[in-house]
């Protein structure tokens, strides 16, 4: 049987999602606990990787096992995971289902505290005191909607930098600013590049037209900011 699990995790507790030797990671931790409780060797296939410090409200993965997984099994697994990872939902899916290939869209949110420094928000918000021009950021974020070559907003080399963003939004409540992106796929550090560019525009370090040119002509390189991982959340995934 193939199972799909949906789970959340606190990114401050892990050195990213991907299984790695000698560092605590989400994939390896989940596989170890699942294998112990289910009494099968479990290998999970995630819908994608998150980097060190990035949080997930909803991450997804699939795995195969002959054992029927019960509510009691999940309770034991969550207890052993000690609230650092929480399995929220599990279900049997078709044998050809794939957690990464079958994704229709993902939603990311980046959280900024634009007020006084708050110790309780450390590791969970990007905390900055710059005055930000909200209207210019809201105007600029609309540029990212649609299908583009995001070469200037991705870290590391790729064969293809093209992807589609379906929805963008910026919300502000008090000192908290939320940057929202819904798209078919996001490449390495991409959301962090996009938010960094928007904050540069908000601060007056870059203009709307700089971002527009970087999207229209990927060879027109302009180095804009890349925000840290701590404010980034994988919020939802749709199949």
51 part of the active site = yes
Instruction: For helices 71-81 and 26-38, give the axis angle rounded to 10 degrees.
Output: 140
Please state, as a whole number, how many other Cβ atoms lie within 10 Å of the Cβ of residue 117.
11
How far apart are the C-alpha atoms of 239 and 232, rounded to whole Å?
A: 21
- Are the C-beta atoms of 60 and 15 separated by less than 8 Å? no
Taken in order 27, 29, 32, 35, the sign of the CA dihedral is: negative
The one catalytic residue among 10, 51, 73, 149: 51
- Are the C-beta atoms of 191 and 55 separated by less than 8 Å? no
Catalytic residues: 51
């Amino acid at each position: 049987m193939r199972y799909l699990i949906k789970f959340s995790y606190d990114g401050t507790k892990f050195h990213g999602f991907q299984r790695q030797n000698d560092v605590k990671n989400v994939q390896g931790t989940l596989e170890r606990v699942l294998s112990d409780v289910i009494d099968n060797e479990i290998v999970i296939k995630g819908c994608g990787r998150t980097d060190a410090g990035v949080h997930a409200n909803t991450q997804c993965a699939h795995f195969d096992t002959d054992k029927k997984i019960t509510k009691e099994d999940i309770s034991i697994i969550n207890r052993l995971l000690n609230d650092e990872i929480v399995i929220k939902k599990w279900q049997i899916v078709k044998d050809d289902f794939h957690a990464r290939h079958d994704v229709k869209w993902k939603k990311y949110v980046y959280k900024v505290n634009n007020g006084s420094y708050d110790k309780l928000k450390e590791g969970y918000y990007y905390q900055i005191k710059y005055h930000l021009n909200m209207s210019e950021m809201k105007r600029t974020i609309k540029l990212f909607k649609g299908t583009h070559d995001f070469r200037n907003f991705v870290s590391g080399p790729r064969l293809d930098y093209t992807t589609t963003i379906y929805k963008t939004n910026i919300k502000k409540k008090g000192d908290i600013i939320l940057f929202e992106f819904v798209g078919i796929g996001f490449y390495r550090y991409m959301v962090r590049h996009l938010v960094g560019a928007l904050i540069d525009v908000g601060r007056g370090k870059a203009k709307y037209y700089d971002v527009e040119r970087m999207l229209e002509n990927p060879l027109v390189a302009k180095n804009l900011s890349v925000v840290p991982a701590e404010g980034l959340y994988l919020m939802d995934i749709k199949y």
